[in-house]
Amino acid sequence: MVSRGKIKRKARVIDYYYKQGGKCAYCKIGMTLSLGFQNTATIDHIIPKAHKRIKGVFNEVAACQKCNNITELYALGLYR
């Protein structure tokens, strides 16, 4: 059984994906909602949790899996 938390997270990924026109917040390359690809849409924190614990959807964007892995320690503005 899938937890409610995972369902809410998946819904947020889909929401950000469409709000961003299907493009990654970092590299601007098109993403997919299919699992297992480098360009799979994921949720990324604009200000990383490692820097400061900021909660809420205002600190989240959709990023491809590749960029999400690269930027885990950088804020959005520092990566670009």
- For the chain, give every domain's residue range: 4-79
Angle at 73 between CA 12 and CA 49, to 5 degrees: 50
The pTM assigned to this predicted structure is 0.76
pLDDT per residue as tens digits for the range 35-70: 989 999 999 888 777 666 766 667 889 999 999 888
When the pLDDT of each residue in the chain is averaged and rounded to a whole number, the result is 82
Q: How far is CA 77 from CA 4, 11, 45, 61, 73, in A?
A: 32, 25, 12, 13, 12
Query: Can you tell me the distance from the alpha carbon of 7 to that of 14, in angstroms, rounded to the nearest whole number?
Result: 11
Predicted pLDDT at 3: 67
